[in-house]
Amino acid sequence: MGKISFYEHESSLFDRVHSTVPKHARTRGINWEHLKQQIMKVLLPGKDTAIKSGEIYDRIKHELDYKISSETYQPIRKACKLLLEEDLIPVMSCGNGFYIAETPDEICDYMDSTSKRMRGLERIQRACTECLERFKE
């Protein structure tokens, strides 16, 4: 008794934190292909041309028939990810926003960055596993 159970909530903490597309975006009927097309109109080649998701939205919002939350611009980020994963367009991201890689070095830099983030997430997963073990004691 007295131990907190995260599994008693209506939806688990994991589902709330790790959903790739928020429920409000799924229910709004976002046309992902159209969104990707609009984003491609504003992305430019080269890391020095990177553009933040909020600025991307500001430039394309007149072409959309729905609004995107200015808290996270999550559908913009998701569409950029889909451009890379599904369409194999080298849309990369950095601290300054999104851009289209124009050199192999830019792709390699992005891959290095994602590898570092993955190692960080693995450390977090291990720490979470240890925390779960403490709940079992």
CA-to-CA distance for 102 and 90, rounded, in angstroms?
8
Q: Give the predicted TM-score (pTM) of the model.
A: 0.73
CATH of 6-102, one of 1.10.10, 3.40.1710, 1.10.3470, 3.40.50: 1.10.10
Secondary structure of residue 97 in the 3-state scheme: strand
CA-to-CA distance for 42 and 105, rounded, in angstroms?
22
pLDDT of amino acid 46: 96
pLDDT of amino acid 3: 42
Residue of 45, 52, 62, 55 lying closest to 106 (CA atoms): 45
Mean per-residue pLDDT of the chain: 83
Listed in sequence order, the residues at least 6 apart from 32 whose beta carbon sits closer than 8 Å to its beta carbon are 78, 79, 82
User: How much is the average pLDDT of 4-12?
Assistant: 39
Query: Does position 78 have pLDDT exceeding 50, yes or no?
Result: yes
pLDDT digits (tens, 9 = 90+) for 42-59: 999 999 999 999 999 999
Domain boundary assignment for the chain: 6-102
* Maximum CA extent, the chain: 58
**Are residues 33 and 73 in contact, defined by beta-carbon separation less than 8 angstroms?**
no
User: What is the band of 29 on the pLDDT scale with cuts at 50, 70, 90?
Assistant: confident
User: What is the band of 137 on the pLDDT scale with cuts at 50, 70, 90?
Assistant: confident
Phi and psi torsions of 100, nearest 5°: -100, 125
User: How much is the average pLDDT of 53-70?
Assistant: 91
CA-to-CA distance for 126 and 37, rounded, in angstroms?
39
Secondary structure of residue 52 in the 3-state scheme: coil
pLDDT of amino acid 71: 81
CA-to-CA distance for 98 and 92, rounded, in angstroms?
6
pLDDT of amino acid 70: 81
Query: Does position 40 have pLDDT exceeding 70, yes or no?
Result: yes
pLDDT digits (tens, 9 = 90+) for 99-129: 999 999 999 999 999 999 999 999 999 999 9
